[in-house]
Amino acid sequence: MGLSTSGTRMRRRFAFLALALGLLLAIVGLELLARSRYRAPWYERLEIAQKTRPTRQGLNPYGLRGPAHAEPKLPTSRRVLFVGDSFTYGGGVEDDALVFPALLERELDDGPRADGVQRIEVLNGGLPGSHTGDWLDLWGRVGAAFDPDVVVVVFFLRDGARLSARSSFFGPIRRGIVERNQRSKLYEYSYVFRMLRDHFDQATVARTYSERIVRAYFGDESEVVEWRAAQANLRELRELALARGATFGLVVFPILVELNSNYPFRSVCELLVAFGERNAMPTLDLLPAFLGHDAPELWVAPMNQHPNTAGHAIAARAMLPFVRGLVEEHERERR
């Protein structure tokens, strides 16, 4: 009896030690795997991606991206000016020919044209980091010189919000995360914990950022200041274009995340479309063209949500009939 009990205890202890050793080995293996794969905190990788984006300037006489065009405009040419931010500029896409203004120029120039029109010329007026007030300044520089027949404002959803990933929004959040991590011995020594902590932090920041975007359009008066200014600036741009005899259009460019039935910024897109319609601006919402796609597959890099060449191609295909219609409308008004 005694020997049997003693043997049972020994087997239990052995099983427990084997289980503990297996668990320890699993933890060590997981930790080694995490250390081999971990590169840097996600917020540092985001900052590197933001800082290393190309911001080439001076590629044509206007200081904008793309080729030069004849001055003055030839009577047989029609011109389209795209105005917008880095999404129009093509941030992260190195080849000038693969951003949507250039893609559209080729399609418009190769497609059907009105009698007497021999050439369709497009100017990419995308300004990285800009807001609508900067677009008015751009018009002052290029409106008369380029003499567009059609002006298309490409409004990215962030253009109505004063949120910067590197300053007003992200800076304070980053400091808080860094200070907390520096106090954590677990974060310092366990890379498994680092990966989990970084994952949850990134998800929290993304959710907070999404909420702030929506509130920039639907929040209280202190939160919608930029959207109020954007509305006034868009109306002024339209009036300036019409005063020069140009046809005006508005394109809504969505934030490329969660491109499914639960898209978090659908209400903002609908608000912008309603604004355009209310202010006699022909408006195109690009969200339907992007729905159903895997958003990260359309980014220039894992930490940079600017559209890559595939994203620009989708945008160009969706915009082609809309822009062609604006050119045709301009021709009808000229007669």
Residue 97 sits in a domain whose CATH number is: 3.40.50.1110
Which H or E element spans position 54? none
Domain extent for 8: 1-37
Q: How many CB atoms lie within 10 A of CB 23?
A: 10
Max mean pLDDT among 184-193, 253-262, 301-310 falls in: 253-262
**One domain for residues 288 and 267:** yes
Distance in angstroms (rounded) separating the CA atoms of residues 261 and 108: 32
**One domain for residues 10 and 102:** no
**One domain for residues 13 and 112:** no
**One domain for residues 13 and 97:** no
**One domain for residues 142 and 102:** yes
**172: in domain:** no
In percent, the amount of the chain with pLDDT more than 70 equals 89
Which pLDDT tens digit goes with each residue over 52-69? 455 554 578 888 999 888
Residue 87 three-state SS:
helix
**One domain for residues 17 and 156:** no
**One domain for residues 70 and 20:** no
Specify the range with the lowest mean pLDDT, choosing from 70-79, 305-314, 319-328.
70-79
Distance in angstroms (rounded) separating the CA atoms of residues 203 and 257: 13
**324: in domain:** yes
**14: in domain:** yes
**One domain for residues 141 and 27:** no
Cβ 272 vs Cβ 132: under 8 Å: no
Which pLDDT tens digit goes with each residue over 143-194? 999 999 999 999 999 999 987 544 556 667 677 777 788 788 887 778 877 7
**330 phi, psi to nearest 5 deg:** -60, -40
Question: Can you give the pTM of this predicted structure?
Answer: 0.84
Q: What confidence score (pLDDT) does residue 68 get? A: 84
**193: in domain:** no
Q: How many CB atoms lie within 10 A of CB 135?
A: 26
**205: in domain:** no
**175: in domain:** no
Pairing label, strands 150-156, 77-84: parallel
**One domain for residues 71 and 99:** yes
Rg of the chain, C-alpha, whole Å: 27
**One domain for residues 15 and 56:** no
Q: What confidence score (pLDDT) does residue 300 get? A: 93
More confident residue, 212 or 231: 231
Q: How many CB atoms lie within 10 A of CB 129?
A: 13
- DSSP characters over 143-204: HHHH--SEEEEEEEGGGGS---TTTTTHHHHHHHHHHHHHH-HHHHH-HHHHHHHHHHHHHH
Count of domains in the chain?
Answer: 2
- Side chain identity, residue 245: G
Q: What confidence score (pLDDT) does residue 49 get? A: 60
**One domain for residues 154 and 28:** no
**One domain for residues 91 and 222:** yes
Strand order of the β-sheet with 247-253 is 119-126, 77-84, 150-156, 247-253, 283-285
**197: in domain:** no
**204: in domain:** no
